[in-house]
Amino acid sequence: MIYKSYLSTFLLTTIIILTLVNNVKAQKMFYPGYVITNEGDTVSGKIPYDLGTNNNYHIVDVKDAKGFVRKFNVWQIKMYSINNEQYYTKKCERGEMKHRNDLVFMHLLQTGEFTLYEYEFVRKIGGARSYEEGGLTPEGDKDFYVEQKDGTLIYFTRLNYKKEIKALIQNKEDCMAITNDKDFEYKKIPEVIKCYNEK
C-alpha cells in the first residue's frame, strides 16, 4: 500500500516536471526589433527568436506594446532587425519553397566593397527547437553570399568556393594569401571578405 502511494506520488511529480519543462521550451525569447516593409514603412516592437517554427527564416512576428502581434512573410518585407542584427530578403540558391519564389532572410555580416550575407540551413528544420534537435552542430551550417555594388548576388558553392572566391578577390594579394593556405575552409570566407573590404 505504501509502495503504491510512493509510486503515485512519483508519477504525479514526474508529470508535473515534464509539463513545466515543455512549457519553458515552448516560450519564445523576444528581442527589440523592427521590420521595414516593401512600401518603406517601419514597424517596431519585439520579435521572437523561435528556432524551427518562425525561426526568422520566412516569417517574422512583431509584437507591439499592447501585445498585438503582426505577421510578416518574406515576400512582404525588405528586411528586419532583431537585437541589433539585420536580416535581408534575398533569393536563395538552394531552392526554397516555390510559393516564396526561393526568398529567405539572410543575415548581414559585413558591408564595404562587398556585402557579405550568411544563410543558416538550420532555419529549414520545421519542428526543431534547437540545433541539436535539427541534427546540426550548435553553430549551425551556413552558406555565404556576396553582394557586389551592382546588386549581383554571388553564392559560394561548397564544391568550388576556393576557385570562386579567388576569382572575386584576385587583385588583392594579401587576401589571396588567406585562400592559398592549406587550412582554408568554407567557414573562413568571412575572413577573406573582411580582408578585401579593409584594403
Per-residue pLDDT at 16: 56
Chain segment 125-176, per-residue pLDDT in tens = 444 445 455 554 545 578 899 999 888 999 998 889 999 999 999 888 888 9
Per-residue pLDDT at 119: 85
Chain segment 76-112, per-residue pLDDT in tens = 999 999 888 899 999 887 655 555 678 888 889 999 9
What strands, in cross-sheet order, belong to the sheet with 42-49?
69-73, 59-63, 42-49, 29-37, 77-82, 85-91, 103-110, 115-120, 142-147, 153-155
**CA separation for the pair 133, 127 (Å, rounded):** 9
Per-residue pLDDT at 123: 44
Per-residue pLDDT at 158: 87
Sign (positive or negative) of CA dihedral 148, 168, 159, 86: negative
**CA separation for the pair 89, 179 (Å, rounded):** 29
Instruction: Quote the pTM value.
Output: 0.73
Per-residue pLDDT at 124: 43
Yes or no: say if 169 and 142 are a contact pair by the CB < 8 Å rule.
no
